[in-house]
């Protein structure tokens, strides 16, 4: 087994850290089979799973592990032995029962401070087991904590904020739900009113607070881009409440509108996993609201709940159907499982009816609601104000999210005909091509970036500082009009290849002379607190005046242009194309999503849904094999973990 691990590593099937863990455990006295299982747990961690689900492993080896990986070469397939054959050849782990018995007897499993923890049929690295237990214990404490609420007063405040409606207002329900406990989830797709709700939720919390001083409210998001968008959206929505007399006084007290990244909120300690704010040094906050919570991994949420005071409210916002975090865990997806149906307890329905202008729908009632503890604190929004579920982008996103392939198959086959005969579908298109440098793809890209090129060629209206800054602002705004999104990073259909291809199409040989040239859009790939730049920030390389060195223009959170020398930017990518993962929290007027030529486990309905819903007005799908789209829609992200176990 150890020899097999070495071969897998040499052929790129697994990481060095996976092999190293197995070797270290053998040195601690672990059997070869236990060390091998630890390596598989580490492999799963690299795929985003906090644990190795042994039950799933023994019932479906290939799908559970993704070994051999999709990029395995023919040579490696001949040399490397598959996991299933290895396990079947060893009597100690040939069956699930034998494997569990072997692990239970191991000195490195379920012992004080042992590196591995076996919980039922799930095998964890201890750190990730501790993360999961910390989150579960903390959320349970916040959910059961009694928070006294004057329902009559709450109803009057909600009446002022939301007015009377003919049917149930889920935004109002979310505000009411948040008042009765110290943990709340608000989930829904793009344009369903999450920002609209959170501002009114903040006003409700401040209006009904029992303390004399205003609540200390902190706003945070996983990435710099998401934090900036959260700040912008909330600041814009705050202005809509100024005219409401009943809450004008709390607005005057200054609701927090500046969001920060979670890393900045907690205070990173250089060269460690620790944060300045923790259980011994908690955050100074009464309410913490985290946007884009689908991107929060299990380690980060464990750090957040450790640092959040016991009396504080934790409110998670996000789209449960979007991609899960890049790191391990699928927190929001697991906590919100079943949210479409409500599954509310009778006593919760009764309480909500006291605060609502309309009675809760019957279908949300579940007499067996104890099976859904997190849903008693969750509100899901269904109706999008941005997209019509029967038209264009909204229809496409809905069909993908519901994994309904009949309409999708027709659209993939007849998109041009549908667009020509049905005006409601004239903003969603399919461009099928077997070559990534196809002339039709090139024409689409050149047309999409033509307004950007015109702005670059035109230059500033005048050479004053204000004129140059306005020119840079216009270019940065134009970058949000057209965007290529790729499903993968590598390969001929990946992000890197498309960036090289588009750069050459637009700039020719100039781009080959050196990496920095005027007009190059760049994305920051890691937070840089010295430069006050965040992961996901977009800039553009410009020459402010003839003879001056090139500089990169970024917008700061206040909307002002700041200029940075290229030599100070060490972790950036060209941004003509970005991965769908990197696009989360962004919107583009015309989004072009590029599918790879071969199938891969990363292609899921969550990936497609996320890419489609980045588009505001137009969406184009580039694919070489339409059947891969159908395969992707039928595949869901399923990450292992015991977060929702009783």
Q: Which residues line the annotated binding site for ATP?
A: 188-195
Which secondary structure element, helix H or strand E, spans residue 468, and what is its range? helix 465-478
CB environment 89-111: b (16+ within 10 A), e (fewer): ebebbeeeebbbebbeebebbee
Please tell me whether the peptide bond between 479 and the residue prior to it is cis, using omega within 30 degrees of 0.
Answer: no
CA 5 remoteness from chain centre? 32
State the CB neighbour count (10 A cutoff) for residue 272: 7
**Full 3-state SS string of 106-120:** CCCECCCCCCEEEEC
Sign of CA dihedral 338, 342, 344, 346: negative
Residue 288 · residue 220 · CB < 8 Å = yes
| C-alpha span between 119 and 130 (Å, rounded) | 12
Sign of CA dihedral 222, 227, 228, 230: positive
CA 144 remoteness from chain centre? 28
| C-alpha span between 109 and 105 (Å, rounded) | 8
Q: Which parts are annotated binding residues?
A: 188-195
Each as own residue / partner, the long-range contacts of residues 445-448 (CB below 8 Å, 24 or more positions apart, any chain) are 445/484, 445/502, 445/505, 445/576, 445/592, 446/505, 446/506, 448/481, 448/482, 448/590, 448/592
Residue 487 · residue 580 · CB < 8 Å = yes
Residue 427 · residue 396 · CB < 8 Å = no
Beta strand extents in 189-274 (DSSP E only): 217-221, 259-261
State the CB neighbour count (10 A cutoff) for residue 406: 8
Strand order of the sheet with strand 259-261? 259-261, 217-221, 287-290, 313-318, 183-188, 378-381
Beta strand extents in 245-295 (DSSP E only): 259-261, 287-290
| C-alpha span between 281 and 225 (Å, rounded) | 27
State the CB neighbour count (10 A cutoff) for residue 73: 12
């Amino acid at each position: 087994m150890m020899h097999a691990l070495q071969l897998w590593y040499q052929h790129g099937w697994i990481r060095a850290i996976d092999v190293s863990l197995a070797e270290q455990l053998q040195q601690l006295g672990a059997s070869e089979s236990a060390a091998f299982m630890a390596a598989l747990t580490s492999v799963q961690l690299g795929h985003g799973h906090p644990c190795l689900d042994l039950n799933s492993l023994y019932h479906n080896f290939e799908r559970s592990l993704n070994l051999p990986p999709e990029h395995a070469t023919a040579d490696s397939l001949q040399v490397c032995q598959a996991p299933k054959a290895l396990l079947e050849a060893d009597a100690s782990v040939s069956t699930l029962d034998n494997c569990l018995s072997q692990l239970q007897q191991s000195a490195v499993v379920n012992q004080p401070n042992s590196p591995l923890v076996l919980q039922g049929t799930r095998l964890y690295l201890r750190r990730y087991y501790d993360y999961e237990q910390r989150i579960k214990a903390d959320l349970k404490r916040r959910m059961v904590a009694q928070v006294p609420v004057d329902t009559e007063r709450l109803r009057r405040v909600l009446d002022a904020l939301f007015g009377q409606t003919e049917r149930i207002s889920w935004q109002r329900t979310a505000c009411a739900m948040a008042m009765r406990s110290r943990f709340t989830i608000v989930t829904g797709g793009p344009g369903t009113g999450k920002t609209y709700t959170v501002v009114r939720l903040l006003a409700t919390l401040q209006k009904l607070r029992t303390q004399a001083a205003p609540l200390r409210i902190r706003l945070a998001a996983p990435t710099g881009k998401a934090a900036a968008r959260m700040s912008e959206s909330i600041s814009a929505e705050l202005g809509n409440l100024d005219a409401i007399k009943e809450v004008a006084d709390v607005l005057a007290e200054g609701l927090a509108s500046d969001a920060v990244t979670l890393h900045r909120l907690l205070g990173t300690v250089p060269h460690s996993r620790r944060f300045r704010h923790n259980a011994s040094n908690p955050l100074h906050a009464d309410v913490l609201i985290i946007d884009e919570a689908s991107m929060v991994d299990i380690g980060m949420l464990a750090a957040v709940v450790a640092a959040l005071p016991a009396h504080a409210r934790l409110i998670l916002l996000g789209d449960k159907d979007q991609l899960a975090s890049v790191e391990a865990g699928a927190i929001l997806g697991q906590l919100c499982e079943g949210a479409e149906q409500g599954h509310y307890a009778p006593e919760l329905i009764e309480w909500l009816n006291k605060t609502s202008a309309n009675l809760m729908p019957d279908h949300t009632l579940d007499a067996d609601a104890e099976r859904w503890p997190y849903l008693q604190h969750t509100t899901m929004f269904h109706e999008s104000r941005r997209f019509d579920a029967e038209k264009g982008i909204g229809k496409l996103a809905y069909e993908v999210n519901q994994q309904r392939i009949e309409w999708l198959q027709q659209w993939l086959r007849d998109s041009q005909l549908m667009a020509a005969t049905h005006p409601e579908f004239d903003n969603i298109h399919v461009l099928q091509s077997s070559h990534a440098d196809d002339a039709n793809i090139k024409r689409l890209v050149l047309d999409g970036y033509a307004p950007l090129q015109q702005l670059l060629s035109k230059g500033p209206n005048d050479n004053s500082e204000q004129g140059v800054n306005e020119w840079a602002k216009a270019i940065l705004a134009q970058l949000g009009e057209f965007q290529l999104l790729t499903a993968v990073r590598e390969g001929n259909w990946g992000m890197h290849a498309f960036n090289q291809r588009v750069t050459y199409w637009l700039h020719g040989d100039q781009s080959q002379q050196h990496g920095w040239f005027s007009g190059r859009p760049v994305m920051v790939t890691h937070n840089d607190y010295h430069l006050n730049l965040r992961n996901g920030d977009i800039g553009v390389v410009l020459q402010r005046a003839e003879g001056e060195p090139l500089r990169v223009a970024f917008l700061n959170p206040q909307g002002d242009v700041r200029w940075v020398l290229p030599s100070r930017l060490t972790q950036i990518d060209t941004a003509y194309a970005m991965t769908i993962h990197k696009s989360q929290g962004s919107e583009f007027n015309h989004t072009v999503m590029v599918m790879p030529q071969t199938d891969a486990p990363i292609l899921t309905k969550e990936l497609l849904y996320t890419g489609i819903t980045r588009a505001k007005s137009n969406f184009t799908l580039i694919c070489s094999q339409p059947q891969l789209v159908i395969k992707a829609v039928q595949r869901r992200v399923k990450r292992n973990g015991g977060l929702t176990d009783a």
